[in-house]
Structure 1
Amino acid sequence: MTSTGAIRRVGLFSAPMLSAPARSWPIGAAITMVLGALMTSLFTRSFGIALADIRGAYGLSIDEGAWLSTITNAAQLITAPAIPMAVAIFGPRPVLGMAGGAFVLSTLLAPLATAPWMVFALHLTMGVALGCFVPAALALIFANLPPRYWLIALGLYSARLTFALHGGVSSSGWMVETLGWQAIYWLGTALGVAFLLLAHVSFARQPMKDSLWARTNKGEVAMFCLGLTLIFTGLDQGNRLDWLESGVIVVLLAGGLILLAGAVIWQFLSPLPFAHPDTMLKHNVFLALAISLCFAFTTVATSLLIPGFLATIGHLKAVQSGAALFWIDAVQIAVIPLSIWTIRRGYLRLTLAGGFVLVMAGCWLGADVTHLWRGDDFALASALIGAGNGAVLLTFIALAIANSRREELVNLAAYIQIVRIVGPEFGLAMVSTFLRKQEAAHATAIGLHIDLPRLAALVKGESLATLAATVSREAHVLAIADGYRLCLWAALTGLALTLFLKRTPPHPLARFEA
């Protein structure tokens, strides 16, 4: 029987997830959850790319459109950290059935909404539902598949992020241009229906664990989820509202940090915590989470810098940016089998280091960007960055798993939501702010070398307008180059952290460490 000390360290809700429920279909369960994770990433990315069209269709202001995006994404954190707990208590069938049903209904009705309150309510429902799929995917993959298949499932898990992050740009543009903005939602409806059908045949009914529910400290869960939601909201709106110059951002970030810190401290003091943080404090697991923060910055090199450059300088629509982003998807998907092969042989540190070196090489090439570059000019840089990020993503997930006991994996699935949602948002917010400030600085520096009064006496107003546009263009290009250098330093930091990793203990994911 598990001792009280062991329960405190492992967490109350890990034990019920250690084995798959009777009469379930393990392979079908894994496929179902990978589809759910793909649905989450693809909808989130497509919605973000098509936000301007969606905002115009709903008749929302720029400010309302920004808050609509924030609510849709932040709402995922209301449920995401608690989903492993909910699956352990109620079973996967009712939890995922309710989430899938809510997502199908909200995406089906969203294009028909007329009043702003209806639009915001439906998107809040979408976000809450989307927050259920990815954490449940990790927990149920661990519970339904033997360890020797985990890497394959995690490879598919990482591939769906790659496809959604970059393929979502061109697919979103194509849907808006060809089928209309409503297709963004109705594609989600179709994927949601397929998810529900697979979940129905893959998961058996389980009785509710009333004793676990009675012993749950709901306050810990509420503080943890609400704290992360407030932090995400502050990060998402921070660049637009100028960070600490806005009282709203200060309140959101301070309140979120206080709630999150209180929830984590409570886990150490509670006799039966819902997910004990002790797993995160292991040397290699902690470093894997730190490396994932570096990864959050390096992904911006392809998810933000390239589409932003092609839209601003190349004046290309989203559907036209697909040629530049195709290489990222192709090489990341191609590198996953190679990464699985090296990880299975225990070369985790070597795979991780090699990935960061490739990212650094791609960022070094990208730093030479000029205003003449178009999609094909980014091909080599994006291919290198894509290959490197593909190897890094799968390896740091495998590293965290290989250094955790099986009974700790559900705890890992709960806390990894900080890495999965808040980490990328932090990287995106920091790089966006960095680009904005660097563009302003470069525009000022270029302007110092132009004698505007003398120039005004020599040329017409139209030429001055052309000159102003040229200065703005070059300032933006220089800021993009600085963005690539920032991502290069993030990759170098990740490479340095790799040097401090210790040997991985024997594990089905890594039989020996080189």
Structure 2
Amino acid sequence: MFLSLFYGAKETKPLFAVISVFLGAVLSTLFIRMFSLSLADIRGVFAFDMQEGTWINVSLNSAQLISMTLTPWFMVTLGAEKILMSTSAILLGIFLSTPLLGGYYGFEVLIVIHFILGLCLGVYLPMTISLALRSLQPSVWLIVMAAYSLRVSLGMDAGVGISGTLVDTFSWQWLYWVCAFFAVLIFIFAWKGIPLSKVNYALLSETDWGGMALKSLSLVLLYVAVVQGEMLGWENSGFIISCLISSVILFGIFICRALFFDKTFAQPHWLANRNLCLCFIISCLYGFLMLANSLFVPSFLSSIGELKPQQIGEVTNIAFIVYLLFSPIAVWLAKRIDARLLMTVGVALIGCSCILGMQVDYQWRVHEFIPLMVIQSIGECLVLIGLIASFVVNMQPQFALHLGAYVSIARVLMPAISGALMNTYLRISFDEHFDAKRAFIQTGEQKLLSEDTSLTLLSLINREAYVGSFINGFSLTFIIVIIALILILFLKPLPKNNIVPHNE
């Protein structure tokens, strides 16, 4: 009987399979978020400068972008259980060894290690919905969607406090060791929940390696250009310009091949389905819609409030708790009202949080942001559940595999691009406010200095310029909210399904 514990599954156990992929989705989102937030501490440990640190983060995320793009195909040809167990075993080895041996690694070795980490972490997200829906009854699909959407808030919101606690209370090594525990559980549940399947050699022989290379490389080049653009100087950097031009050319070649040749990788024919196309665009905009909780509030509390990540986690944890508690309500609503209305209400709530954010001033701290983050979290929950439901019920079997290759754009590329572009916009806005306020203050400098002796002139200008830039950031997000609402208006009624309400 004891030896039976080491035997793999003879038949699929749906609960074990779902737990395995959901743990993987949580691990992927949480580690990526914790690593980016703790990058400054990790740079200090390995004595890297800022540019070297960003390249390690770029290698991690670009590898995730590649594996997310390719996983749907190899999941069908090789089998989900092989991918889950092999990647989890590799992750376990890296998560355990890096904190112990990291001091002996150079910059190049760490780049390679985190690239491998990204490749392994990227396989979980594409598997989650497809494997969960395939294993469970339609009656519980909405619950699965809600649980899946929860990993976004767990990573973006709770990840701030978790990373701060691990680094400040324990040490940076625990960022890896905690994730090693997840890797063990993923391997066990996959081993006991999904039987080994045969490799589909016939389908594997039809693999379009050229199309895979073109699409993956074009997305990575775009990601590198946008993420590193602010540091390297955008139009002043030949490297950034080359990456952007190369990305456009390679993606153009990929699309031409996909349109004019049969049996190519990731054919874009699903774009002809209006609902799928609009849902995909809205999912790409979702990266901008969630910036209030994921970027604006943490950055404001860090730059203006001078709070540490562990302290910022006090308010971001509230956002996660609200998301968690509201998820059952969102599922109840999704079973009774149209997904389009659900998304409309969610986007409108995000717009309300943006309006609240436009009222921010330098005195705002944790308590002042709580109403904003509560409204934002409820809005994010409604939008994401409605969006996932719309994708699932509009999906046609002939589109499933090809659409899966594009999901990485919405899940990884666009959140990174939205954050990078918004950071650039905040920097430009800060410079404009700084120059304007400095010119204004110079005309009445003597009067100002006599009235305010607790602050230096430079810190006062900096503070108000930061506040002005965040107000502009909320304003720009509000414009994205309006665009998303317009796109929702053009969605057709959902087709007949047994998941969410539809028009007969």
Partner of 1:9: none
- Residues 458 and 323 of structure 1: CA distance in aligned 2, closer, same or farther (over 3 Å): closer
Amino acid at match of 1:91: G
- Residues 471 and 408 of structure 1: CA distance in aligned 2, closer, same or farther (over 3 Å): same
Gaps of 5+ in 2: 1-8
The answer to whether the aligner puts 1:67 opposite 2:55 as a matched pair is: yes
Match of 2:34 among 42, 46, 61: 46
Match of 1:91 among 71, 79, 85: 79
Partner of 1:491: 481
Match of 2:401 among 410, 415, 419: 410
The answer to whether the aligner puts 1:448 opposite 2:436 as a matched pair is: no
Amino acid at match of 1:492: I
Per-residue deviation, 1:458: 8.0
Alignment of 1:72-151 (within 5 A): 72-111=60-99, 112-113=101-102, 114=104, 115-151=106-142
The answer to whether the aligner puts 1:480 opposite 2:470 as a matched pair is: yes
Match of 2:305 among 314, 317, 322: 314
Aligned length: 492
Distance 1:421 1:458 in 2: 48
- Residues 154 and 22 of structure 1: CA distance in aligned 2, closer, same or farther (over 3 Å): farther
Partner of 1:8: none
Distance 1:67 1:468 in 2: 32
Distance 1:133 1:219 in 2: 24
Match of 2:232 among 208, 227, 241: 241
Q: Name the SS of the counterpart of 1:504 in structure 2.
A: coil
- Residues 227 and 317 of structure 1: CA distance in aligned 2, closer, same or farther (over 3 Å): same
Q: Are the equivalent residues in 2 in contact too, given 1:139–1:409 (CA < 8 A)?
A: no
Q: Name the SS of the counterpart of 2:123 in structure 1.
A: helix
Q: Deviations over 1:435-471 (max 9, x none)?
A: 0000000011101112279649988xx9798110110
Amino acid at match of 1:305: F
Q: 394-403 vs 432-441, which deviates more?
A: 394-403
Distance 1:458 1:141 in 2: 64
Distance 2:255 2:295 in 1: 32
Amino acid at match of 1:273: T
Alignment of 1:27-46 (within 5 A): 27-46=15-34
Distance 1:325 1:178 in 2: 18
- Residues 248 and 500 of structure 1: CA distance in aligned 2, closer, same or farther (over 3 Å): same
Per-residue deviation, 1:264: 2.6
Per-residue deviation, 1:508: 2.2
Partner of 1:250: 241
Distance 2:218 2:137 in 1: 34
Partner of 2:459: 469
Distance 2:249 2:223 in 1: 14
The answer to whether the aligner puts 1:199 opposite 2:190 as a matched pair is: yes
With normalisation by structure 2, the TM-score equals 0.93
Q: Name the SS of the counterpart of 2:483 in structure 1.
A: helix
- Residues 436 and 73 of structure 1: CA distance in aligned 2, closer, same or farther (over 3 Å): same
Alignment of 1:84-483 (within 5 A): 84-111=72-99, 112-113=101-102, 114=104, 115-451=106-442, 455=446, 466-483=456-473
Gaps of 5+ in 1: 1-20
Distance 1:378 1:457 in 2: 29
Give the superposed CA RMSD. 2.1
Distance 2:240 2:139 in 1: 45
Distance 1:25 1:366 in 2: 47
Amino acid at match of 2:164: G
Q: 268-277 vs 296-305, which deviates more?
A: 268-277
- Residues 506 and 22 of structure 1: CA distance in aligned 2, closer, same or farther (over 3 Å): farther
- Structure 1 ranges of 4+ moved more than 3 A: 452-459, 462-465
Q: 396-405 vs 47-56, which deviates more?
A: 396-405
Distance 1:48 1:310 in 2: 17
Partner of 2:5: none
Identical counterparts, % of pairs: 29
Per-residue deviation, 1:74: 1.1
Q: Are the equivalent residues in 2 in contact too, given 1:84–1:139 (CA < 8 A)?
A: no
Amino acid at match of 2:491: L
Q: Are the equivalent residues in 2 in contact too, given 1:77–1:226 (CA < 8 A)?
A: no
Q: 375-384 vs 491-500, which deviates more?
A: 491-500
Q: 109-118 vs 345-354, which deviates more?
A: 109-118
Q: Deviations over 1:396-440 (max 9, x none)?
A: 121122111245333332211111011111211221111000000
Distance 2:376 2:59 in 1: 31
Q: Name the SS of the counterpart of 1:502 in structure 2.
A: coil
Amino acid at match of 2:53: G
